[in-house]
Homo-oligomer: A and B are copies of this chain.
Amino acid sequence: TSHAGRCTGHQVCLLSVLHMFVQEGERDFDLASIYVSDAQYNRNIYFDTSPQAVRLYLRYNHWLPQVLLYVFILVDLSLALFEEPAVFALPTWATMLVELLCLIVFTIRLIHYAKVIPRDKFWKDPKNICIIVILGLTMVDMIIYGALKASNCRAVRWSRVLRPLLLVNVTEGRQLRRAFRSIRNALPQIFYVFLLFMFSLLIFSLMALKLLGKRGLKTIDGAPYFTNYLEIVFDLYVLVTTANSPDVMMPAYNASTGFAIFFILYILINTYIFMSVFLAVVYNNYKKYLKEEVRQLVRAKRHKMVRAFAVLQEQREEGGEPVVSQANWNQLVRLVQPDLSNAHRELLWSVSDDTNQGKVAFVQLADLLNIEVITLKSRPHPLQGVCPAFYLSAPSRLLCQLVQHRAFVIVYDLIILVNAVFIGLDEENPLISNSEWVFLALYLLEILLKLYVFEPRAFFSRHSFWNWFDTIIVVAALIATIINSAMKSSGDYTSRQILDIVFILRVLRLIRVVDSIKRFRTIINTLIRIGPAILTFGQLIIVVYYIFAMVGMEIFKGKVKFYEADSSDPAKAYCGNPSLKGTPFAQLNYCKNNFNDVVSSFVLLVELTVVNQCSGFTLVTHVSARIYFPPFITIIVTIRPQLHIFVAFVLEAFFVEYSVEKSDLQTSLEKKIEELELAVAQYLEDNLVNAMETIDSDQGTGQSANSKPGLMFKIASKRYRTVDALLQRMFEADLDPEDFAETDDPAAPTSGNFSNPAFSSA
């Protein structure tokens, strides 16, 4: 509008104003689509609303730069494989060059971000400061390291510890930041339970010292039993994790049966009661904070949708409620989600329009877009088009009926079971090894038959997990088996790797059986659905592991050496460390549990997470200047609550998934689908997502479904596009109605410059 004042010539001015309107219109749609997509994916970015910034922001949110960013983060993280101490050694200059490239990419991404949001907001956001500090420190470290290396000094790449923090601080790391925040918020409560647990541990240790210390008992190794207070504390700490359970108690138990009461009481209180309390407190707190976060997210989402509405609203009649016209709505949805089919979009519009509430319906759009609706197209089989006479002939139809029959599934389940037995048998037997070809042929035949019966595009639709699984496994097994036998017959040489792959593929094929039993399918599908949510915790664990692995490698590399089985080096018996001579660590052949490269470190950290049993490793502690110990304990203490939370999360997610209720929005969408008579027949509903072929067959063969409309919808009722949608669903019952209500928040002006919720900063 500021433009309009400046034009002088009438014609020129009109053109300019028209052009401006078109531009303004485009700009409006861009802005509205950004609001909607931010609401859909719960992005809370305080972006500039100037046209340039909006354009840049659209580009910033494009999938390509986001994927590229993650690729470069992955490259940066995996550099640890090639740097000293390396798994695959590369020259220093090569890794430094790659790292420099990564740094440049991160800097470009950051500059892009800086251009999108207002300058003062950029510098107030701790995320950005964090990234700048990480980039700066890494550069400094690289220069120092390069200089020291050039002058042949010992140098430490300490900035590698900072790398995983990038995962947390990039704008896309919202879920991860939220997970970290939840943990941080739960810490004070956990801390008190932990203190009480420690107090109980110390009291029990003191009692053990007084009761057992003076009796002159010996452990199985002949060492004095329970005479040193700190060692008792450690032994009893390990006992909580039940790792040394019968052993630590045996000397006392052998001395007197009564002492068993002491240990049983200890285990009862500290393992069962305290660990339960600990889990309960962690779970409770975690849930509470997550609920608060979700509440804020829902509120922010509503604000953004109201803003988008404000940009596109029209006054249909004087004094009436403002509305968004269908044309504008269509254009907006097309911008936000270009891959949405026309039919799906029309369905959404009819749901939105039906409620006839203007803004209220519009605000729901973000949630509507997050509901996954499966569009089923009843297409004829391509063979029917090519050669209808043959495809619709009686034998062909009989074949189709056979393949669709329940018996077909049962026969193939039996074949899989027989195959399992054959796999278990000795494959040296030529009969057995040749039978593999028979099974491969049978599996291939199954896939070809199904492709003959079902429409190929439906067979390989995005939701047909098991069809994809089958085909990939069978084809891969076929290729691997052919390569393997070709190598065998050509030069008597069998590659171990190829054979391993063949074996793995063979065994993986057996998993198919699971799909035939409905109860199993339910469990597996639930697991697949909560997969993305679990991935967030995977990232969290990786961040923690990576940091500890880097620190561990710098401190402990080369302290424990692993010798190959055929090595005759006498140092092999004590892992190359004389101070380990005769210790169980060396005797149990734990030498490969070391910090000599990043892979070994990760495996070791996993082991420490899984087994509480430091007992093996602490023996190293005693000898190697007791310096191994603190980081190990720190790791365990840090990671354990996270695992508990992980368990709790899976638990909670399962409850939600198992619960039968659907959200109101889904129900209204389903109602609409039913109203329009587009719903898939009820009897197919249960196994639709899971066994798509059944439905496709009904339509694809064109025999029974001719009376149905050509297009059908089905809500994949419990599938959520984003983790946030799942979370929102989880806490829906607990949210205040006002979080969803249509009353305008007085604190939120309808102009573009709305205040960002406080929680968006990490």
Question: Please, which residues of chain B bring their CB within 8 A of the CB of A723?
Answer: none
Contact call B654/A246, Cβ cutoff below 8 A: no
Taking a contact as CB atoms under 8 Å apart, the answer to whether B423 and A210 are in contact is yes
How far is the CB of A574 from the nearest CB of chain B, in Å? 15
How many chain A residues touch B (CB < 8 A): the figure is 83
Residues in B neighbouring A260, C-beta threshold 8 A: 599, 603, 606
Query: How many Å from the CB of A57 to the closest CB on chain B?
Result: 38
Q: Is the CB of B611 within 8 A of A284?
A: no
Is A347 among interface residues, defined by CB-CB distance under 8 A?
Answer: no
Q: Is A493 an interface residue (CB 8 A)?
A: no
What's the nearest-Cβ distance from chain B to residue A417, in Å?
11
The stretch from A123-131, A152-160, A251-259, A375-383 touching chain B is A251-259
- Give Cα A249 to B590, complex, Å: 10
On whether A520 and B196 interact (CB within 8 A), knowing A277-B527, A284-B655, the answer reads yes
Which residues of A, 332-376, contact B by the 8 Å Cβ criterion? none
A195 interface residue (CB < 8 Å to B): yes
Residues facing B in A14-33 (CB within 8 A) are none
Collect the chain B residues with CB atoms within 8 Å of residue A591's CB: 254
Query: Which of B257, B276, B519, B589 is A599 in contact with, Cβ under 8 Å?
Result: B257
A209 to B504: give the CA distance in the assembly, Å.
11
Cβ of A610 and Cβ of B250 under 8 Å apart? no
User: What is the minimal beta-carbon distance from A437 to any residue of chain B, in angstroms?
Assistant: 17
Stretch touching chain B among A452-460, A505-513, A627-635: A505-513
Q: How far is the CB of A726 from chain B (nearest CB, A)?
A: 15
Alpha-carbon gap, A625 to B318, bound state (A) = 94
Whether A254 contacts B654 by the Cβ 8 Å rule is no
Q: Report the stretch among A305-313, A644-652, A686-694, A706-714 that lies at the interface.
A: A644-652
Q: Is A273 an interface residue (CB 8 A)?
A: yes
Among the stretches A199-207, A465-473, A741-749, the one at the interface with B is A199-207
Stretch at the interface among A71-79, A264-272, A390-398: A264-272
Q: Are A206's CB and B507's CB within 8 A?
A: yes
In the bound complex, CA of A82 to CA of B651 (Å) = 46
A580, B16: Cα distance in complex, Å: 99
Interchain CA distance A313-B220 in the complex, whole Å = 75
Report the copy number of this chain in the oligomer: 2
Contact check, A203 vs B600: say whether CB atoms are below 8 A apart: no
Measured between alpha carbons, how far is A9 from B118 in the docked complex, in Å?
108
Q: Does A523 contact B196, Cβ atoms closer than 8 Å?
A: yes
Specify which chain B residues have a CB less than 8 angstroms from the CB of A207 in the assembled complex: 503-504, 507
List chain B residues, Cβ under 8 A from A510: 203, 206
Contact yes or no, B192 A519, CB < 8 A: yes
A589 and B506 contacting across the interface, CB-CB below 8 Å: no
Which chain B positions have C-beta within 8 A of A449? none
Judge whether B220 and A254 touch: CB under 8 Å: no
Let me know if A650 and B277 touch, CB within 8 A. Answer: yes
In whole Å, how far is A601's beta carbon from the nearest beta carbon of chain B? 12
For residue A717, CB closer than 8 A to chain B, the reply is no
Residues of B within 8 A of A527 (CB): 273, 277
B residues within 8 A CB of A611? 242, 245-246
Q: How far is the CA of A284 from the CA of B652 in the complex (A)?
A: 10
Alpha-carbon gap, A242 to B192, bound state (A): 28
Chain B residue nearest in CB terms to A655: B284
Q: Whole-angstrom distance between the alpha carbons of A283 and B648 in the complex? A: 11
Instruction: Establish whether residues B650 and A246, one from each chain, have CB atoms under 8 Å apart when the complex forms.
Output: no
A511, B192: Cβ atoms under 8 Å? no
| Interchain CB contact (< 8 A) of A603 among B193, B253, B420, B606 | B253
Closest 8 CB pairs of A and B: A210-B503, A245-B611, A276-B650, A280-B654, A280-B651, A192-B519, A207-B507, A260-B603
10 contacts between A and B (CB under 8 A): A192-B519, A196-B514, A210-B503, A246-B593, A246-B616, A267-B606, A272-B643, A272-B647, A276-B654, A283-B651
Besides A196-B523, A245-B613, A253-B603, 13 new A-B residue pairs in contact (Cβ under 8 A), listed by A number: A196-B514, A211-B503, A220-B587, A220-B588, A242-B610, A243-B243, A245-B607, A246-B613, A276-B654, A277-B650, A277-B654, A280-B650, A280-B655
